[in-house]
């Protein structure tokens, strides 16, 4: 009867101590956790920052309605920065006046887009940018929904004047700051997931160039004759006009000679 091999016995961790801890013979791989910020934490950043922007925006608007409405312009830095109270039915720079309900729909769509984008956020910079953008959009949307003259047609309270350019509020400042941050992140190639897409594109192009070079080298190696390989020769044509056929080279020893 053939004997069956006995299963491999566990190797004690310390033979002298007679331990029974099994030590795997396979090599172990040192897997270190990646030091990345958890997505939930980044989402929390967005929510908290948006809430702070909304709070500051609404408190300053309440103050502006109580203290600035009906008063003349208050200069802070001469003509460059001043406090001037207005109720804006349009967007920034007075764009869209008379189409408040359309602007309300547009802002609502932007807010929904931001909320959906928060699910794949993986960058602190994008968390700050989206928090500012979400807070600014919601701050002005609250005015359009709850302020006079009615639902979805409310006028936004603006009171911070920048020379003769336009008059805005805290929510507008947050939106502009978010736009600047998003532009910087886009130029750096950092996506909302935190990955540098510019580096990935460069790596893909480098890999493609390397593959092309390897393919070209392989073709040149295939076309080149191997060292020591016989070369093909055509039979000689012989002297012109002699009518004698050319002599072909023969290999190997002759069978015999004529006597």
Distance CA 78, CA 63 (A): 22
Which residue is catalytic, options 158, 193, 210, 212?
Answer: 158
**Phi-psi map region of 91: left, alpha, beta (phi>0 left; psi -120 to 50 alpha):** beta
Which residue is catalytic, options 172, 193, 209, 212?
Answer: 172
Give Rg (Cα) of the chain: 40
- Residues near 96 by beta carbon (within 8 Å), at least 6 away in sequence: 90, 102, 103
> Where is 205: in which H helix or E strand?
helix 197-223
Residue 95 burial (CB count, 10 A): 11
Mark whether 210 is an active-site residue: no
Mark whether 158 is an active-site residue: yes
Provide the edge-to-edge strand list for the sheet that holds 166-168. Answer: 74-75, 82-88, 156-162, 166-168
Q: Do the beta carbons of residue 241 and residue 248 sit within 8 Å?
A: no
Cite the active site residues: 158, 172
């Amino acid at each position: 009867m053939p004997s069956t091999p006995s299963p491999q016995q566990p190797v004690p961790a310390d033979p002298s101590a007679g331990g029974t801890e099994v030590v795997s013979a396979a090599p172990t791989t040192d897997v270190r956790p990646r030091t990345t910020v958890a997505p939930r934490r980044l989402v929390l950043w967005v929510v908290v920052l948006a809430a702070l922007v909304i709070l500051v925006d609404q408190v300053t608007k309440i103050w502006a309605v109580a203290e600035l409405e009906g008063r003349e312009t208050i200069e802070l830095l001469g003509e460059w920065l001043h406090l001037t109270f207005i109720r804006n039915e349009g967007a920034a720079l007075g764009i869209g006046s008379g189409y408040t309900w359309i602007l309300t729909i547009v802002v609502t769509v932007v807010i929904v887009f931001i909320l959906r984008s928060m699910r794949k956020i993986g960058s602190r910079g994008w968390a700050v940018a989206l928090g500012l953008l979400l807070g600014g959009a919601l701050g002005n949307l609250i005015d359009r929904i709850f302020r006079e003259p009615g639902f979805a047609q409310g006028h936004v309270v603006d009171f911070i004047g920048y020379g003769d350019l336009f008059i805005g509020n805290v929510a507008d400042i947050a939106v502009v700051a978010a736009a600047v941050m998003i532009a910087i992140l886009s130029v750096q190639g950092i996506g909302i997931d935190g990955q540098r897409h510019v580096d990935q594109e460069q790596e893909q192009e480098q890999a493609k160039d390397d593959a092309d070079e390897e393919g070209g080298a392989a073709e040149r190696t295939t076309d080149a004759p191997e060292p020591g390989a016989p070369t093909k020769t055509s039979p000689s044509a012989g002297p012109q006009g002699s009518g004698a056929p050319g002599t072909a080279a023969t290999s190997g020893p002759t069978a015999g000679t004529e006597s």
